[in-house]
Amino acid sequence: MSRVGAEPWATLLDALHSLVAVCDHIVIIYFLSINTCYLVLILVALREFLRRQGRAPFAGYDDAVTSPFTPPVSVIMPAHNEAVGIVEAVRAMLLLHYPVFEVVIVDDGSTDGTLDALREAFDLAEVEHVMPDDVPVRGRITSVHLPRGGPVPLLVARKENGGKADALNVGINLARYPLVCMVDADSILDSQALLAVAKPFSDDPMRVVASGGVVGLANGCTVVGGRVVEPHVPRELLGRVQVVEYLRAFFLGRTGWSKLGGLLIIAGAFGLFRRDVVVAAGGMDPDCIGEDAELVIRLHRHLREEGRDYRIVFVTEPISWSEAPTQRSVLAHQRRRWHRGLTEIMLKHRRMIGNPRYGRIGLLALPFHVLFELLAPVVELAGVVLVPLGVLLGAVNADFLWRFLLAAYFYAVVVSLVSVAVEESAFHRFTRWRDVWGSLVGVVAENIGYRQMTAWWRLRGMWDGLRGSPQVWGSMTRAGFASSGEAEDSQVKAGGGDRA
Amino acid sequence: MARVLIADDDADIRDLVAFKLTQGGHQVTVAPDGMAALKAVREEPVDLALLDIRMPGMSGLDVCRELRAAPETATLPVILITARSQEGDVEVGFAAGADDYIIKPFSPRELSSRVTALLNRVER
Amino acid sequence: MIPPGVVRAALLGLSAVFVALSLLIVCIRGVRVYRQRRRERIAAPVRGLLLQLLCADEDDQSELLHQLTQIDKRTWRALEPSLTALLGKVAGGARTTLISLYELRGAAGDAVAALGSHRAARRGRAAQVLGQLAHRPAVAPLCRLLADRDPEVRLAAARALGRIGDSAAVPHLLECLQGPRPVPPGVVMSALVSLGPESQPRVSAGLRMEPLARAVAIEVLGATGAVSRTSEIARALREDPEIEVQIKAARALGRLGMPEALQPLLAALDPDRPVSLRTVSAGALGNLGAVVAESRLVELLDDPNTHVAATAARALLRLGPVGQGALRTAADHAGGRAAAQARAALAELAVGGARHGVRVEVAL
């Protein structure tokens, strides 16, 4: 009796044994390949930096400032309850160094007197306005304001609350120049930011449709008059870790992707777009959480389907700064939201993944993002569970494993260290030795501890995205199809986003 | 003799202007960026500030606005050095509170006479 | 799967790389500071001379100039970044002195030779320097560089030709707009505009070239005030098959402000023409300040396209009292859309911040 019972048990155990062993190997291979991919991107970025260094003397920034043919820019800044910092932010924006530009502020139904602060600072007067309807808008415009008497190129619109994407759509409609620059109200821009980010549009006007700028971490930096005057690495560990993370993943990673022709994300904190192309693609999607990334992927889709020769590029000059969360709960919230956005975008545009019709985007960039960005938390957490299980079951040699893990984590640390070295050789933004030390601490902590910690948050965000649960911030609610199941849900959304 | 501050991230222009103004009998303080310019003015008052618009971080316009915002430097004569030549930009400069501006490229002699002219105007 | 020996070796290798990288970061810093100091140390003694030369009166210059031409190669190389930087930033006598220093030193000739270098960065830098020197003998080789295989070098060559200011470069600048290695129109236009009015006859030859060259030529003629070419530009607005060229023509006619432009601009407002052309034409009529256009612009206030209607309202503002009167009448009497547009324009006028600028849809 007992022998009969033990037989299937043994087979089951055997099967589990080999399953865990296979999974462990998959985790290990995954870990190696993700870091190798990062390394390749970093090296591509390094090559690009070195190339640019030799060309800096004839880059022609001075000519761009004086040329009457430098394309004018409308800077669009959505604001929701920003009364504290908005006046300073707008002043800094109006003093950007660029030949012709205007600033369009869209107050998205703030309840804290954002508009009053602006009205007092810039002597605004309400004017009647007829808004073009180039892209669809949900929230009604309640008033439009212009500054009295001066040459100040500012326009402030107030609308009913409808979310950031909707506010951006209003800004796109109100913008009167051929290039629109989307900026977060809490971004700190360098005075030369517009010049740098607009340069690709002058150098290659037939093809460039969008360009994104570097977003650095404002934590720990000295800020005077709305500008970062001295970049530093912050003192707190979570800040240091994020400095390294921004450097490797956002700065070098995106530079690499831009060079490979597969840039998928332009941070909402600072991006410049051709207005006509954004309008043709239907503007921002107010149902999407990562509306910034979604727009770029939709632009790729739209332009590839039209068979146009185009470029979406990343500008490497350090130009925009944002405050990163240093509280665990806020960071958790941010990462959960980001990953939820990524999940939704990938679901919405899943037809493009692996589709040769979309060239490098479909065959290279999107599969990479699904495999190494979207699924990363799943594999990382699976590793945390499966690897000890493998040792416990004796499926994997414990001695081999700990050595291997050490090597793998060490490899990841080295990759991050390479990023720091690349930054140091190409930009050397940090002037103090203390900052170098701080970033070295960040390098180690990012790979051992931080990534595993965020993996849990990212996994939850992914779950939110798959379930399509109602959004937990802002006052927007989905219109009725939240309960219709995952697949249909994303289809409905895909249909909604493709309006043109 | 007057005390003049010159802020420019370009060491060559900074030194050239400093040389010319020293030759003209002024006492010159130099600053490599906007932040240093503000610091220098706060530590030791000057009679006139020459600010380059195109500086990384804080531009000359930013510095000018900061100077205007502080009561002790609110009336400090400011000349902006700019590569801009379009009308609207000059307006932005004046809106930020500049008294005069010099367009790059400039001749050292012209710069020196503009500085003297502005100092005379303020004295009167 | 993987023998433990390999893992151990990998660990060792990684440790070595880790240490090496940490050292590298420190070294990069050190070397950068050292190089900077070294350059400054070498240049320091002659830098004073240079500043003295640039600030000196004409009588004292020749002696200083002589001293500076005699410096050895190493010092010259350390000084050169300062020289090129200053070239673009000083004017008048100081600039003339710098140029003669370059000529005496034979550095302009060296730069011409560097235009043929196999390194793109070197060719680009040489083009930049020659442009700043306004070195006329470099015009021919720079024109050849307009077809360089590196796009950024082509840009540098076009900018340099604009700075040198020799109108012999015009045909080459117009030609380089097309072909497998094009130069973007914005850069070509800046270069052509900085050549000044003397180049107008040669620029007008572009009116008979390919579409892009026609568009660029028209834009440049408009920007340099070539009023004598009004009739040709007006013909382009009427007859050119390319919409891009028509738009440029409409805008140029607005800038030139000649009465002959009136009829073709009014014709370009017809509802069957593209929206972008109609918008630019409405704006151009405002620039023209032609009071006769008033009634047509008032009609446009009710146009189904918001951009056309809004531009017409702003154009009316620019017609002075007559246009403003028409806007007031429209605000009081016209219905719906037209009245709203009129009120919006008048409100902007009242706060003194009228957004005159015409939206530029197509032209980058």
Domain ranges of chain C: 75-163, 165-268, 273-359
DSSP, collapsed to helix, strand or coil, labels residue C149 as: coil
pLDDT reported for residue A150? 64
Say yes or no for a CB contact (<8 Å) between C51 and B109: no
CATH for B3-123 (3.40.50.2300, 2.60.120.260, 3.40.640.10, 3.60.10.10): 3.40.50.2300
φ/ψ of C85, rounded to 5, equals -65, -40
Say yes or no for a CB contact (<8 Å) between C90 and B15: no
- Which tokens sit at A72? 């004018």
Segment among A105-119, A263-277, B35-49, C47-61 with least mean pLDDT = C47-61
Q: Could you write out the DSSP letters of every residue in A141-186?
A: EEEEEEESSS---EEEEEE----HHHHHHHHHHH--SSEEEEE-TT
Contacts of C54 in chain B (CB under 8 A): 16, 19-20, 108
Contacts of A222 in chain B (CB under 8 A): 35
Q: Between B and C, how many residue pairs show a Cβ–Cβ distance under 8 A? A: 50
pLDDT reported for residue A484? 30
CA dist A274 and A208 (Å) reads 8
Contacts of C87 in chain A (CB under 8 A): none
Contacts of A201 in chain C (CB under 8 A): 364
Q: C-alpha angle B113/B116/B121, rounded to 5°?
A: 125
Q: Is the pLDDT of residue A191 over 70?
A: yes
CA dist A250 and A263 (Å) reads 11
Measure Cα distances from A489 to A193, A222, A454, A497 in Å: 39, 46, 27, 12
The superfamily in CATH containing domain A69-327 is Spore Coat Polysaccharide Biosynthesis Protein SpsA; Chain A (3.90.550.10)
Instruction: Kindly state whether A218 is in contact with chain B, defined as any CB-CB distance less than 8 angstroms.
Output: no
Note the ipTM here: 0.87
- Cα A484 off chain centre by: 29
Which A positions 148-177 lie with beta carbon below 8 A of chain B? 150-153
Confidence band, pLDDT 50/70/90 cuts, at residue A428: confident
Q: In 3D, which of C105, C81, C85, C110 has the Cα closest to residue C95?
A: C85
Measure Cα distances from A330 to A274, A326, A339, A463, C230 in Å: 33, 7, 14, 19, 63
Contacts of C307 in chain A (CB under 8 A): 132
Q: Which amino acid, A128?
A: E
Residue-level length of chain C: 364
Q: Are C130 and C111 in contact (CB under 8 A)?
A: yes
Burial of C113: CB neighbours in 10 Å, binned 0-12, 13-18, 19+: exposed
- Which tokens sit at B30? 């130099």
In angstroms, the separation between the Cα of residue C79 and the nearest Cα of chain B is 10
Q: Which chains touch C (3 or more CB pairs under 8 A)?
A: A, B
> For the segment A68-89, what is each residue's pLDDT rounded down to a tens digit?
888 999 999 999 999 888 998 9
CA dist A271 and A184 (Å) reads 10
pLDDT reported for residue B93? 67
In angstroms, the separation between the Cα of residue B91 and the nearest Cα of chain A is 7
pLDDT reported for residue B62? 85
pLDDT reported for residue A489? 32
Share of chain A above pLDDT 70, in %: 92
Question: What pTM was computed for the model?
Answer: 0.87
pLDDT reported for residue B84? 58
Say yes or no for a CB contact (<8 Å) between B65 and A192: no
Measure Cα distances from A408 to A175, A239, A401, B92, C16 in Å: 50, 24, 10, 55, 15
> For the segment C256-299, what is each residue's pLDDT rounded down to a tens digit?
989 899 999 999 999 999 988 999 999 999 888 888 889 999 99
Q: C-alpha angle A405/A409/A412, rounded to 5°?
A: 145
> For the segment A163-187, what is each residue's pLDDT rounded down to a tens digit?
999 999 999 999 989 999 999 988 8
Measure Cα distances from C165 to C93, C186, C187 in Å: 19, 17, 14
User: Looking at per-residue confidence, does A312 or C364 come out higher?
Assistant: A312
Which residue in chain C has the smallest CA separation from A148? C351
Omega within 30 of 0 (cis) for the link into B71: no
Give the β-pairing of A270-274 and A311-322: unpaired
The stretch A193-211 carries a mean pLDDT of 91
Going edge to edge, which strands form the sheet with B78-82? B27-31, B3-7, B48-52, B78-82, B100-103
The stretch C287-314 carries a mean pLDDT of 89
Contacts of A400 in chain C (CB under 8 A): 4, 7
Of A95, A99, A151, the CB nearest to B91: A151
Segment among A28-32, A222-226, B93-97 with least mean pLDDT = B93-97
Q: Is the pLDDT of residue C356 over 80?
A: no
The stretch B23-43 carries a mean pLDDT of 90
In angstroms, the separation between the Cα of residue A389 and the nearest Cα of chain C is 18
Under CATH, which number does the domain C75-163 receive? 1.25.10.10
Q: Which amino acid, C206?
A: G
List chain A domain ranges. Answer: 69-327
> For the segment C27-70, what is each residue's pLDDT rounded down to a tens digit?
988 898 898 899 889 888 888 888 888 888 777 788 888 888 88
Say yes or no for a CB contact (<8 Å) between C54 and B104: no
Q: Is the pLDDT of residue A487 over 60?
A: no
Q: In 3D, which of A133, A135, A282, A105 has the Cα closest to residue C337?
A: A133
User: Looking at per-residue confidence, does A288 or A375 come out higher?
Assistant: A375
Q: Are C85 and B50 in contact (CB under 8 A)?
A: no
Say yes or no for a CB contact (<8 Å) between A417 and C337: no
pLDDT reported for residue A486? 32
Q: Is the pLDDT of residue C322 over 70?
A: yes
pLDDT reported for residue A318? 67
Which residue in chain B has the smallest CA separation from A93? B62
User: Looking at per-residue confidence, does A47 or B1 come out higher?
Assistant: A47
Give the β-pairing of A124-127 and A227-230: unpaired
Of A54, A418, A420, the CB nearest to C121: A54
Q: Which amino acid, C175?
A: E
Long-range contacts of A401-410 (CB under 8 A, 24+ apart): A401/A24, A403/C4, A403/C7, A403/C8, A403/C11, A404/A28, A404/C2, A404/C7, A406/C11, A407/C7, A407/C10, A407/C11, A407/C14, A408/A28, A408/A31, A408/A32, A408/A35, A409/A447, A409/A448, A410/C11, A410/C14, A410/C15, A410/C18
Say yes or no for a CB contact (<8 Å) between B106 and C93: no
Instruction: Kindly state whether A428 is in contact with chain C, defined as any CB-CB distance less than 8 angstroms.
Output: yes
The stretch A360-380 carries a mean pLDDT of 93
Q: In 3D, which of C52, C49, C135 has the Cα closest to residue C100?
A: C135
Mean predicted lDDT score pLDDT of chain C: 88
Confidence band, pLDDT 50/70/90 cuts, at residue A358: very high
pLDDT reported for residue A494? 28
Contacts of B107 in chain C (CB under 8 A): 90-95
Query: Which residues share a beta bridge with A208?
Result: A311
Q: Is the pLDDT of residue A497 over 70?
A: no
CA dist A192 and B36 (Å) reads 18
φ/ψ of A189, rounded to 5, equals -100, 145
CA dist C132 and B84 (Å) reads 17
Q: Is the pLDDT of residue A361 over 90?
A: yes
Residue in the block written with tokens 């020197």: C133
CA dist B91 and C112 (Å) reads 41
Segment among A18-32, A128-142, C127-141, C227-241 with least mean pLDDT = A18-32
Q: In 3D, which of A183, A164, A165, A198 has the Cα closest to residue A103?
A: A183
CA dist B107 and C327 (Å) reads 49
Q: For residue A224, how many other CB atoms are within 10 A of its CB?
A: 17
Which residue in chain B has the smallest CA separation from A152? B92
Which residue in chain C has the smallest CA separation from B16? C51
